[in-house]
Amino acid sequence: MPDNHHAAETADHLWDIQAVNFRPDEPFTLTSGKKSPVYVDCRKIIAFPRARTAITAMAVDLIARKIGRENLDAIAGGETAGIPFAAWIADRMDLPMLYVRKQPKGFGRMAQIEGEMAEGARVLLVEDLATDAGSKLAFVEAMRQAGAKVSDCFVVFHYGIFPASTAKLAEIDVRLHGLTTWRDVLASARRGGHFDEAALSAVEEFLDDPEGWQSRHQD
């Protein structure tokens, strides 16, 4: 669950940089393969200094309160979208930064984890967003096989409508932390008048029943 302390502000920043996309007639296909009429492009944050500075500060605050700076030895970004966020967070927290490949590179050391990591290091996995958390499972497994202790994952945006995202991670003893969710983004849209009520109601229909919405919008 997001921290209400920062959820609204993060959602407002996403709207300000036009990172929120709405396309009910031509649904987006998410990394997980699921269809969605809405999509948040967290990669846009890297191009907006004010938004990225504020979001990084909120991320560090959440991590410090929910996990504890003293309980972490390194920050790891998931290839590729998690890498810049991990770098900013590691810099602000004065911690080593790593990044995790989706699969070992096919040459040289065949490394899947780049950087320097001691055996037993307590590592926080950082990604831009989470839908069903499938990619997080692979990253956590890779780090644990390399000797890391991973008990937490941070994302800027958590869809918050697919229970599997937290359930799958809980099964491997990993907690998911996010700054904001679709519910927060929808509330921000209403405050800012970003869409008319008909459009917002269409989004809400998806949020209330994402699986049913997908079955009604199959190709």
pLDDT digits (tens, 9 = 90+) for 44-87: 999 999 999 999 999 999 999 999 999 999 999 999 999 999 99
pLDDT, tens digit (0-9, with 9 covering 90-100), for 128-183: 999 878 889 999 999 999 999 999 999 999 988 888 788 999 999 999 999 999 99
Q: Which residues pair with 20 in a beta bridge?
A: 40
pLDDT of residue 206: 86
pLDDT at residue number 202: 80
**Secondary structure letter of residue 50 according to DSSP:** H
What is the mean predicted confidence (pLDDT) over 89-106? 90
Mean pLDDT of the chain, nearest integer: 89
Name the DSSP class of 42: G
Q: Quick one: pLDDT band at residue 120, thresholds 50, 70, 90?
A: very high
Of 108 and 5, the structure prediction assigns the larger pLDDT to 5
Distance between CA atoms of residues 82 and 177, nearest Å: 14
Least confident of 98-112, 120-134, 194-208: 98-112
Q: Which range among 63-67, 88-92, 171-175, 185-189 shows the weakest confidence by mean pLDDT?
A: 185-189
Banded model confidence at residue 200, pLDDT cuts 50, 70, 90: confident
- Structural domains in the chain, sorted by start: 4-203 (3.40.50.2020)
Q: Is 199 exposed, middle or buried (0-12, 13-18, 19+ CB in 10 A)?
A: middle
For 103-125, b where at least 16 C-beta lie within 10 A, e where not — what string?
Answer: eeeeeeeeebbbbebeeebbbbb
pLDDT at 218: 67
Contact 200, 192 (CB under 8 A): no
Q: In the predicted model, what is the mean pLDDT of residues 33-48?
A: 90
